[in-house]
Amino acid sequence: MRRARGGLKWAIAWVLPLLLGACAGLPRDASLPVNDPNEDMNRHVMAANQEVLRPASEVVKAAVPGPVQDRLQDLNSNLKEPRIFVNNVLQGRFEAAAHTGARFLLNSTFGMAGLFDIASREGLPQQSGDFGQTLFVWGVAEGPYVVQPYLGPSTLRDAVGSTVDMFSNPVGWVLAPTMAVTVGTTGLDAVTRLGQLKQAEDASIDFYSFVRSSYYQMRRAELREALGLPSVVDSPALADLEDPAADASQSASAASSEAALPSGGIGAGPSADAGAKAKP
């Protein structure tokens, strides 16, 4: 408990300057342009992440049966619910907080402590909610795009937010050291995500641009949710992987548009934005 409190104080010390900036009344714009001034360094960090996480992804895929992976994913999602609930409240999204609380209660009680996502089957999908979102609602600027070691793509604001989430996760205070719980669940997310994106990596001209574009689109959709707006921005990251027909049609359209792109793979840059708008 002392370590958790000390870590929380350290995280707050990092966040305090950003909160002071929120008092300046910065606009809450969820559609700001991509800001990647440190692209060279970010590319190196992403390559290192792939080298470290790719073997783990292959081991998980080969050694863990599909049904077991599903149970781990549901348990992982349930462990995030207290953090999501707290941030929903901080953002003033009280209806979302009520849904999150109901999900956690239902899955923890009837879903074998979260091993089964009963709530989603009953029409209660998981809400978005993290401290990076909360900082956005409070008016903090997002800062440049960064690729974090182990944790993956983010912005400076969301990197600070994820640090606060690590040290303030209520589940970590009760069940285990906070860092162990959060890093473990985040690592599971990263390994699973890397496995899902393997096909896109093989097909894309510039995988870094693809991941960056996908991150920005998905994140902007979550920021719109935090403002009570509909999530109208879709990401190309997973939809095409799940739809072979879409792969064929987008491959044809990508071939005709590649000449117009300065760089970036399938789903990156302007082509990704166009694909998101065209998608029903």
Domain ranges within the chain, ordered by starting residue: 2-204, 205-280
| Dihedral angle over CA of 28, 30, 34, 36, nearest 10 | 50
What value does the mean pLDDT take over residues 5-27? 50
Give burial (CB, 10 Å; 0-12/13-18/19+) of 193: middle
Q: What is the pLDDT of residues 86-135, one digit of tens each?
A: 999 999 999 999 999 999 999 999 999 889 999 999 999 999 999 999 99
Q: What is the pLDDT of residues 222-266, one digit of tens each?
A: 999 998 887 764 444 444 444 444 444 444 444 444 444 444 433
| Angle (nearest 5°) at CA 185 between 179 and 188 | 135
